[in-house]
Amino acid sequence: MTKPLAARIALYVVLIVGAVIMVFPFVWTVVTSLTPGATLTTTPRLIPEDPSLSPYIELFDRVPFARVIGNSLLIAVVSTLLQLVTSAMAAYVFARMPFPGRGALFVLYLATMMIPFQVLIVPLFAEMKTLGLINTYAGAILPTIATAFGVFLLRQAITTVPYDLDQAATLDGAGHFRIFVQIILPLIRPALATLAVFAFLNTWNSFLWPLIILRDPLMQTLPVALTSLQGQYSTQWDVLMAGSVISIIPMFALYVFAQKYIVQGVAGAGLK
């Protein structure tokens, strides 16, 4: 297709304006975090006159921020690992082990995807209170360890593995556990990676449930700690932006290494 010059220029204008709008807020976040004393009265300069890391130091003075980062990491890692295990095991049954009523059970799993989390807030909080799990890691992690989404994704992947491989292994005397661990899991690694990335991203960024269950400042995750900082020091944008930078960095790093899985995962969603 040949394109007239005007069309090419229009194309570049759209793309460049778009890129500036998308990237500028991140640049501004970093700039603000390096401009100590950005208060309610001045707008920082794009190139700070006297850049300094003191907002970061102040952040760690004000909040147990190292502990908060640790909380976020622990919760995200444990939740992701458990989600991988529970999803893969269930997916294996739904792909490879028929039994009466399996289709109906699958529909039940499906149905849980349609329940908005907000409906669960009150009873889940009450349940955790009864179990004594308010302000605990277990309380934050447990509701996230099994998702129908993970089961689906991995079931789809397992069904693409040729059934002959299972049968050959069965002839060699392998049971379901060995087939699952030695044949299926290695062959669905790309799907496991996609699920791992999304599970980590979702837990690391999640807000509503940690906000409700983790009330103690020592137990809070990054997003929750950031909002409590806003409440206490609403004018200290430099400190808040320093915290934002810290919470973005791991996601950007993950994105650089796992871009393929993230973009493919999202793109696959819209195709029939």
Partner 1 sequence: MTALGTRPDVAVAAASAGPATTRRGLPGRRRMRYALTVMVFLLPSLVPLLAFVIGPMISAAWTSLHSWNLIGPMSWVGLDNYAHLFTDPATRDAFLHTVWYIVGYLPIVYVGGLALALALNTRLRGRAGLRGMYFLPVITSWVVVALVWRWLLSPSNGVVNSVLAWFGVEGPGWWSDPAWAMPSIILASAWKDLGFVMVILLAGLQSINPDLYEAAQLDGAGWWRRLFSVTLPMLSPSTFFVIVLSLINGFQVFDQVYVMTGGGPNNSSQVVVQQVYDLTFRYGQAGMASALSWLLFFVIMLVTLVQFYGQKRWVNYD
| Residues in region 54-93 near partner 1 by CB under 8 A | 85-87, 89-90, 92-93
- DSSP class of 143: G
Cα atoms found within 13 Å of the Cα of residue 117, Cβ hemisphere only: 10
Quick one: 53 or 89, whose CB is closer to partner 1? 89
Minimal distance, residue 150 CB to partner 1, in Å? 8
Decide whether 28 or 132 has the Cβ nearer to partner 1. 28
**CB neighbourhood size of 12 (10 A):** 10
- Count Cα neighbours of 151 within 13 Å in the Cβ-side half-sphere: 20
Determine if residue 220 is left, alpha or beta; phi over 0 gives left, psi from -120 to 50 gives alpha, anything else beta.
beta
Q: Tell whether residue 249 is a contact of partner 1 (CB under 8 A).
A: no
The interface with partner 1 within residues 86-125 (CB under 8 A) comprises 86-87, 89-90, 92-99, 102-103, 105-110, 112-125
CB of 57 to partner 1, least distance (A): 20
Q: How far is the CB of 219 from partner 1 (least distance, A)?
A: 17
CB of 159 to partner 1, least distance (A): 7
Among positions 63, 69, 201, 239, the unique one binding partner 1 when judged by CB under 8 A: 201
Q: Which two tokens stand for residue 140?
A: 């934050």
Residue 178 lies near partner 1 (rule: CB under 8 A): no
Q: Binding mask 3-32 vs partner 1 (x if CB under 8 A, - otherwise)?
A: x---x---x--xx--xx-xxx-xx-xx--x
Residue 135, number of CB atoms within 10 A of its CB: 15
Comparing CA positions, the residue from 245, 190, 187, 229 lying closest to residue 64 is 229
Shortest spacing between CB 163 and partner 1, in angstroms: 6
DSSP string, 74-112: HHHHHHHHHHHHHHHHHHHHHHH---TTHHHHHHHHHHH
Which segment (49-57, 60-68, 73-81, 151-159) binds partner 1 by CB under 8 A?
151-159
Nearer to partner 1, 28 or 186 (CB): 28
Distance of alpha carbon 119 from alpha carbon 124, whole angstroms: 9
Radius of gyration, CA atoms only, the chain = 24
42 is an interface residue for partner 1 by CB under 8 A: yes
Q: Is residue 161 near partner 1 by the rule CB under 8 A?
A: no
Q: Is 43 a binder of partner 1 (CB under 8 A)?
A: yes
